[in-house]
Amino acid sequence: MKDLENLTNTQVNKLIKDKKNPVEVLKFDEIYSELLSLLIPGIYKDNTIIFDKDEDIEYILHVFQSPLPDHFSIGIRFKSISMTLIRFDFGSDLRHKNNYGQTDEYCVTGPHVHVYSSDLKHEPKNVTPLSAYSDFKNINIIKEAFTKFLNYTNIKDLKPNKEDLL
C-alpha cells in the first residue's frame, strides 16, 4: 500500500471495503458477544487488532459506549499512524465543527462519520452527517450499529468451516 498518511479518496474507500480479520479471534468474539448481549447500555470500551492481509495493514477496532444509551462510537484506526480510517459517532446532541478556524466553518449536529481523519484531539477534521450512510439510518443502539459496521467495513471472523475440520 502507498504511504498511509497520504491516501487518495479512492484508496481510502478501497481500504474500508477490503476484507479484514481479527488477529485475536477470542478477543473479537468477546467484544461481539458483550455488545450483542447488552440489555441495558452502560459504559463500555474495548479494542482489538484487525488485519487486512491483502494490504498488510494492522488496524485497531475501537468500540465505546457512553452512559447515555444513544451515545456511542465504533471505528477503525491505523495501528502504525495516528489516523482513523473510519469512525461512526452516534448521539443526537453531538456537535462537530467542519473547516475549523476557516471562514467557511460550519457545525454538523447529530450523529456523524469521520473518514480518514487525524486521531489528534486538536487537529481539524471534517465529518459527514450519518444521514449520508443509508445502511445506518434509524440506528440508535450500539448492538445494531456494531453488526452493520462489521458488514460495512468487511470485518470477518476467522472461525473455520466444518468442512475444514474434517
Instruction: Point out the least confidently predicted range of 7-21, 39-53, 54-68.
Output: 39-53
- What pLDDT digit, counting tens, does each position of 24-57 carry? 998 999 998 888 887 666 788 999 999 999 999 9
Amino acid 39: pLDDT: 66
Q: Domain containing 155: what range?
A: 4-165
Amino acid 100: pLDDT: 83
Whether the pLDDT of residue 165 is over 50: the answer is no
User: To which H or E segment does residue 44 belong?
Assistant: strand 44-52
Amino acid 58: pLDDT: 96
- Structurally, the chain folds into a number of domains equal to 1
What average pLDDT does the chain have? Answer: 88
Residues 108 and 130: their CA atoms lie apart, in Å, by 10
Q: How many CB atoms lie within 10 A of CB 166?
A: 5
Amino acid 40: pLDDT: 67
CB burial string 21-51: b at 16+ within 10 A, e below? bbbeeeebeebbeebeebeebeebeeebebb
Average pLDDT for residues 54-75, to the nearest whole number? Answer: 94
8 A C-beta contact, residue 77 and residue 87: yes
